[in-house]
Amino acid sequence: MSKSTYLESKQHYPILDGLRGVASVLVVIYHIFETLSGGNAFGQLINHGYLAVDFFFLLSGFVVAYAYDDRWGKMTQWDFYKRRLVRLQPMVIMGSVVGAALFYFQVSPAFPLIAGTPIWKMLLLMVIGCTLIPVPISMDIRGWQEMHPLNGPAWSLFFEYIANILYAVVIRRFSKLGLSIFVALSGCLLLGYLATSKFGALIGGWSIDPMQLFIGFTRLLYPFFAGVLLCRTGKLMKTKNAFWWCSVLLIAVFCIPRIGDIHHAWMNGLYEALCVIAVFPIVVALGAGGELHTARSAKLCKFLGDISYPLYITHYPLIYVFTAWVVSNKLAMGQQTLLVGLVVTILSLLLAYACLKLYDAPVRKWLKRKVLMKKG
């Protein structure tokens, strides 16, 4: 029987869409305060905001399993890859273009390589960034050793693609028992790293060097495939006002101050392990098992879900500009910097919304018609 490249999308979990948006907004706010704190983890207002990436991985695993686990008899691996590329790649390209457009506005002591970077090299990195191919440290044009120096957060999309490939090639074939063992071992790896790391924090994964790649895979494997396992087991939790309770829980997880001092980093590591291994699955189980009872809540979740990915993948070039301004002028947290930080947050939201309406949604609609709806 011939297989169709196009399969109708399943009904979304609207609360999960909304929670993805909440986490994306918190990431932007986290990056604002990270800049104002000078990277001091003990002076951060949203200290654990970087854990949003690990929450995104878990959400993605759940959604991928929900969307595709029962469809492998109707599609090929290539069909799966095309659907994921259509969903994710347009905004990867936009993130690289936005990063290039704002690159030379970021000249400052914070980014020592920008001033000496010729335009041709920046444009070359933009093109490479559009493909999501990571670049080695030797090709850095910023000074932060990022695998995507024009748009740092693209590193997590690189690992997201790796997770999708692992799922399609191998892990979708695992039994529940086999998947449970794999997830348990991945959780042990995560816990072991956080308990022994001298930083006691789940930060890293954005550079092409052995340690950073290890951190990236450690952050990826447990949450993504725990999300797959959660979907397969169907162990969802029902509660009233699930979206609001889950949002409060996410805010609390991100805002709790760093635990322990520099001599007891393992304490913070254990807290973050608890969040990723236990709290985030509970949040997703609550969100997937909950219901929205008002049109206003449904509209809010849809808006947050729609804007979440464009916001995450385009906001950081604006953060680079903000960081350059703060560092160049040797500014500290105060009324002026907080006001400018608020403006940056609003601009990030407006940019994301514009990208969604004027670019992402139309391009994906066109790609759906031209690429996904063809018969194979």
Whether the Cβ atoms of residue 351 and residue 314 lie closer than 8 Å to each other: yes
User: What stretches of 245-325 adopt beta strand conformation (E)?
Assistant: none
User: pLDDT tens digits for 115-172?
Assistant: 999 999 999 999 999 999 999 999 999 999 999 999 999 999 999 999 999 999 999 9
Say whether 231 sits in a helix, a strand or coil. helix
Looking at residue 45, what is its pLDDT?
Answer: 79
What share of the chain in percent tops pLDDT 90?
87
Looking at residue 33, what is its pLDDT?
Answer: 94
246 inside domain: yes
What share of the chain in percent tops pLDDT 70?
97
2 inside domain: no
3 inside domain: no
Q: Is the pLDDT of residue 2 over 50?
A: no
Please give the DSSP secondary-structure letter assigned to residue 50.
G
Q: Residues 159, 161, 166, 172: what is their CA dihedral angle, to the nearest 10 degrees?
A: 120
User: pLDDT tens digits for 306-361?
Assistant: 999 999 999 999 999 999 999 999 998 899 999 999 999 999 999 999 999 999 99
pTM over 0.85: yes
296 inside domain: yes
CA distance 10 to 128: 33
336 inside domain: yes
6 inside domain: no
Question: Of the ranges 156-160, 176-180, 200-204, which one carries the lowest mean pLDDT score?
Answer: 200-204
- The domain tally of the chain equals 1
Please give the DSSP secondary-structure letter assigned to residue 45.
S
250 inside domain: yes
Determine phi and psi for 4, rounding to 5 degrees.
-90, 135
Mean of all residue pLDDT scores within the chain:
94
Q: Which domain holds residue 254?
A: 14-372
111 inside domain: yes
Looking at residue 19, what is its pLDDT?
Answer: 97
| pLDDT grade for 8, boundaries at 50, 70 and 90 | low
User: pLDDT tens digits for 32-77?
Assistant: 999 998 877 777 878 899 999 999 999 999 999 999 999 998 899 9
Closest CA to 356 of 308, 290, 289: 308
User: pLDDT tens digits for 257-304?
Assistant: 999 888 889 999 999 999 999 999 999 999 999 999 899 999 999 999
**β-bridge partners, 4:** 375
Say whether 132 sits in a helix, a strand or coil. coil
